[in-house]
Structure 1
Amino acid sequence: MIKQAFKSRVTPFAFLIAGLVAGCGEDAPPAPPPPEVGVYVVQPTQIANIVELPGRVQAVRTAEVRARVDGIIERRLYSEGTDVAAGTPLFQIDAREKQAEYDAAVGALSRAQAAAKNAAQVVERYAPLVDKEAISRQEFDAAVSAAAQAEADVLSAQAQVERAELDLDYTIVSAPLAGRAGRAQVTEGALVKASEATLLTTIEQLDPVYVNFSQSATDLLKLRRDIAEGRVKSLPLNRIKVTLVLEDGSVYERPGHLNFLDMSVDSSTGTVSLRSEFQNPNRLLLPGTFVRARVEGGIIENGIAVPPRAVQVKPEGAVVMVVGDDNMVSARPVKLGDLQGDKWVITDGLKPGDRVVVDGIQHIRPGAPVRIQGAKPVAPAATPAG
């Protein structure tokens, strides 16, 4: 009887649940429409072929100022770290010894000139006598030879005077070129020697400056092949624009240009050396500074670029979401180039006509359908009455 009573109570309740479930099935809402997304249709365009390479700043001209005579430094005649003109006196070396050597050379020249004058007079006196046979031809020839030797002694003495005068001038050490004079490497009272070429200071020209960098020989070969096959339009060497990114991430305001491309490959690094030139009126670029050079190595005729918001950068690489012809989304790995203006350059992974999702990415997933913004929504199929 207990089982029968329980059964009589449960059965109506089960029928009630079944009825509710059946009623829910008949009134179930339709499936939500696919999410709406904005797309960017990939179109080929001309893009600058930019290569970013590390480099260092170098002075256009550097002069190491060294001692050319022996002596004691008496004075430093310039302010360290200032600009100097060519010929500006930099150091004074004690000139007393060189002055004495110059005076001695001048005295030796005077003696030689007096001896040459006397020898010339002897020849002048002997000339008429030899014709009258008052003296022998041998005596006359000896006088002529002595006069010639005396003239040679004069020339030698003149050279000694010029050398002594040059050494005397070298006691004033002057700037060989215009530029920024560096720190003095010697102080007053220091002994400098010409035989050791004692370094006194360094002068660097800082406007303009060079930036030296290297490119992989493999990358350069690929660029040349692209140029040969017409994929990249090349420019003359002096028209290849170079932009600098400084150590703090800022861009140097004055673009430069390439002015040197080495025609040999460094066997130890497998790279080719390049050099660019930049105007530097404010001395912002200092020799030895590390920079990144962005070289515009030609124009890519049919390049591809997409808005940055379409690119998802992940640890395994960059990905974009592409809408297929069936309006299904797929994740497409791409290879990024440079960020030029408001576009990411895509070097591999996309082709013209691809529809790349730029809006609504957060609402989609690969393999799911989407609806393009502006397209008419498809009405859901009517649920059959039952």
Structure 2
Amino acid sequence: MEKTKVISAVTLLAGLVGACGKDPPPPPPAAEVAVSAAPCPNGRSDDPPRAELVKAHRLFRGQQYAEARALLDRLLEQKPHSATALAARGDATLFDDSLGYADAARRARDYYDRATNLVAQGCGVSRRTEYYLHMGDAFAALRLAPTDGGAFDRAELDRADAALRRAEERWPQSAEVLYNQARVQCARGDVDPCLERFSSALEAAGSLERPRFLRTHRSTEDWIVRSETQSEFGALREDPRYRAVIEEARARLKTRPDAGPAGPGASPRRRGPERGLRLRPDSRPPAQTAPQ
């Protein structure tokens, strides 16, 4: 009996020693943490501090484009998913005459594309930024559309048209959108829709309904003067309906209670500076843009 107890104890001890020599069982797997692949998981553009964006905005308004670009580049190093900063970086490139008319458009397009892609992925921006992002894309395409032979690149015109249509969906009363749609139609050789858009632009310019955040409110006479030299409007100016539309627009202005002088030589009344109110605080909460 004693011998049996000794053998059992030895066997138990050997088992314990053997167990101690084995690797401990692996711990249970940690719960997987969901990591969002979205660049802006909160649904808003991941922007730098507002004070820094305001500095860039002031440099842009002062036409200090190189300084604005340098500041925005530093901000984008910290916040690469800022659609707002990317759109502003595009503008600071597009409007810098020292970079060359077409070359500035090519360089700016990269920033507009990156901003547009972020918005499409859910990085919501203010209405002002959304509007000028569409307009910047359209302006760049219109700059790049003319070819050496005097014709227009259809792909660039299509791109400008698509950007302007997106803007029109949100701001149908913008004379700026309508006028540039007329440019696209005339460049395509479609005089009838060009005339219709041009007429609508003059009507919208004379209306009190317009986006509140426009950089500049151009008067009806402003758009008329621009149309007289706009390269895309050659065929439109040869159409007798062109002058008829202009006279109708001037006649409408005379019936407005607050009408000022109309016609050649009139002093257009502008509201706001020529360049940029994009970063001014909006009085209403910014809207998100659905993927295009």
Normalised to the residue count of structure 1, the TM-score between the two structures is: 0.18
Structure with higher Rg: it is 1
Normalised to the residue count of structure 2, the TM-score between the two structures is: 0.22
The one of the two structures with greater contact order (alpha-carbon pairs below 8 A, sep at least 6) is 1
- Structure number with the higher helix fraction is 2
